[in-house]
Homo-oligomer: A and B are copies of this chain.
């Protein structure tokens, strides 16, 4: 979102750039913080916009959260996020009864006080807090909307616990993407629209990063973050020209 499309609108040239990558046999992944849909739904959404893609080409926070849980021998979870995300945790037990972790993602309009308060009580009873990401807000045509990071912070404050964050800009998330590509970091480049989340995160993970002037770009000041992209292009459409 913001690089390939803005919600329901394809970024002009995105379809052609993906086709060019496939024609050139350049391996790529879509690395997103989206937690409103699972990877199958994201692939469907992109295919609907004309971008040919399959779920395995998409790295999103639920998969990283499942990997984190297995690595730390966590076996059960409560999901404070869209229910369809549970497909990423299919080897783990979903429960409301003393889960190991509470996983927080985007709930949007269906978030109620009861749901967040229930998650708070699970934390007070001993669960760990796992945040799919900690973004402050996201841009819509109607202006900024509060994002998952706000609810993560609310739960941290009330419970006194500190969340483990799995999505961008966290280094393990980029490391997972690089490992999935099977390439050395110096042969990988990140393309993103968020100066801190995409560009800063990628650079800290040891890969170059290209900022596109679409999506979040227009809303965030580069100067504030102190992050300097390795390259800047107007949009994903200009990627083939930059490479040549």
Residues of A in contact with B (beta carbons under 8 Å apart) = 107-114, 116-117, 120-121, 124, 136-137, 143-147, 149-151, 153-160
Contact = CB atoms under 8 A, between A and B. Distances in A.
Contact of A146 (B108, B109, B116, B153): B116
Contacts of A154: 146, 150-151, 153-154
A98 to B, nearest CB: 13
A124 B143 contact: yes
Nearest to A121: B143
A155 B137 CA distance: 11
A121 B139 CA distance: 11
Given A107-B113, A113-B109, A114-B109, A144 B157 contact: no
Given A112-B112, A124-B144, 12 more contacts: A107-B113, A108-B113, A111-B112, A117-B145, A120-B145, A120-B150, A121-B144, A136-B157, A146-B155, A149-B158, A153-B153, A154-B154
